[in-house]
Amino acid sequence: MNLTTSTDGQILGRVKCPGDKSISQRVLILGAFMNQDMVVDGFLNGEDPLSTMNALNQIGADISVDEDDRVLLRKRKQSFHNSDNALNLGNSGTGLRLMLGLTSGMGLKASFCGDESLSSRPMGRVINPLTEMGANIEALEGKLPISISPSTLNMQYKYELPVASAQVKSCILLAGLASGAGIEIIEPIQTRDHTERMLSNFGANIETTFLDGKNIIKLAPNNILRAKNYTVVGDISSAAFLIVAALISNSPGLEIMNVGMNPSRTGVLQALKKMGANIEVKNQRLESGEPCADLLVKQSKLKGVNLSGKIIPNIIDEIPIISIAAAFADGETTIRDAKELRVKESDRLKAVSEGFSALGIMHENFEDGMSIKGAKDQLIIDQSISIESYDDHRIAMSFLIAGLKCSKPITVKDCKNIFTSFPNFIEITSSVGYELEK
């Protein structure tokens, strides 16, 4: 599915932020593990969370989504069981890594597969620590297909992350939870802490301390969790596309409701405010242990900035759309320490660079980032332009937002991937004044 932009968009109005993808997948996994009746509101009914739900049901969970997009988790009589057929996680790297931790911890026999994009992504970062814990895992050069055989994990495990990664951290915590092991994880830079917050919300004995510039997360052995209904806050990674749309368009104001404001995720707001963004945070509150708020965003005169170091793990998913903001800022923006982008759903640095080349945006690509010279004003396009998304939802949405500043419509190819994380993206952009045509 290709999408073509329009040239007369004016972003304004009020929208509700779609549910957080990372949290939606985690609450499915923990909810199924607890095996108690439970209702989840605000769930992101997108392809990635649904892939995780289907995989859980395949090993014995009883999860469904009703007509109001509420998730119903039902207590079942049987325990989780082995699966003769491969668990297909589609495009979901989060789902695959977390399910590897859960199933290894429970000592199940299972195999895993995914789509072409997921099959190309390295999984050694979770396979190696799980193997150290005692898991029996077979993989082809650290990638899918992956199979696990029944095993018993070590009852105490300590691991220092070589690279900051919330997915690796969560995988190890879930393996410890499922096996009853005590876990200590040391992370060099704080990554998103949704798993820790959710475990605490359901009664786990988990604590995080800060020592010598590093986070130390300790999960006590043999936790007993207690289910309670859960509300998923909005995904700030999805809100970022709407925020940048309002900042670079002729927007008198866009209000985005129910945005997750977890401190480990709000780096995108820090980066954009550093660029001069007019973003007002309103009605701050807690939902199921996660902070959230409403955001009021207005058109802003942005300026180039330098982004590197500790903020990068916090904004790694938002760098493509931050790059679009930088393309229409005054001056040069430099992004470094972001080599992780080369092993996402696509090589995102390469994908952004090729899109910029097609649009005539001056930039330089580095191994770990890029520099971008802002165009400031509308891009004058003389002919129709097609931009390759590389089957990557964040690349597709980023360049569709860039179309707001192009003199003629542009076409972004292969946009079906958007439904993995933001299933109502087309409807929401239309509701705030920006039409996209299939």
d(CA 257, CA 233): 10
Radius of gyration over alpha carbons of the chain, in Å?
21
**Phi and psi angles of residue 161, each rounded to the nearest 5 degrees, phi first:** -65, 125
The strand order across the sheet containing 290-298 reads 12-16, 253-260, 290-298, 278-287
Identify whether the C-beta of residue 78 lies closer than 8 Å to the C-beta of residue 51: no
Map residue 116 onto helix, strand or coil: helix
d(CA 329, CA 332): 8
Helix or strand (DSSP H, E) at 146: strand 143-149
Q: Determine which one of 115, 294, 317, 391 is catalytic.
A: 317
DSSP assignment of 328-341: TSBSEEEE-S-GGG
**Phi and psi angles of residue 265, each rounded to the nearest 5 degrees, phi first:** -125, -10
Running along the chain, 438 residues long, what does each successive block of 10 average in pLDDT? 89 96 98 98 96 98 94 95 96 97 98 95 96 97 96 97 94 98 95 96 97 95 97 98 94 94 96 98 97 96 96 95 97 96 94 96 96 87 90 97 94 94 95 94
d(CA 353, CA 65): 39
pLDDT score of 426: 96
pLDDT score of 251: 81
pLDDT score of 173: 98
Map residue 157 onto helix, strand or coil: strand
pLDDT score of 355: 97
Identify whether the C-beta of residue 323 lies closer than 8 Å to the C-beta of residue 355: no
d(CA 438, CA 434): 13
84 assigned to active site: no
d(CA 295, CA 287): 16
E strand residue ranges, 221-336: 230-231, 253-260, 278-287, 290-298, 306-307, 332-335
* Neighbouring C-beta atoms of residue 180, cutoff 10 Å: 13
All structural domains of the chain, each given as residue ranges with its CATH number in brackets, are 3-19+234-431 (3.65.10.10), 21-220 (3.65.10.10)
d(CA 433, CA 51): 32
Residue 32 structure tokens: 């199924």
Residue 87 structure tokens: 């668990």
Map residue 114 onto helix, strand or coil: coil
pLDDT score of 250: 82
Map residue 83 onto helix, strand or coil: coil
> 385-388 and 410-413 as β-strands: parallel, antiparallel, unpaired?
parallel
pLDDT score of 375: 84
The strand order across the sheet containing 143-149 reads 87-88, 110-113, 143-149, 136-140
Residue 21 structure tokens: 């993808």
d(CA 197, CA 208): 10
Helix 166-179 to helix 194-201 angle (10° resolution) is 30
pLDDT score of 8: 77
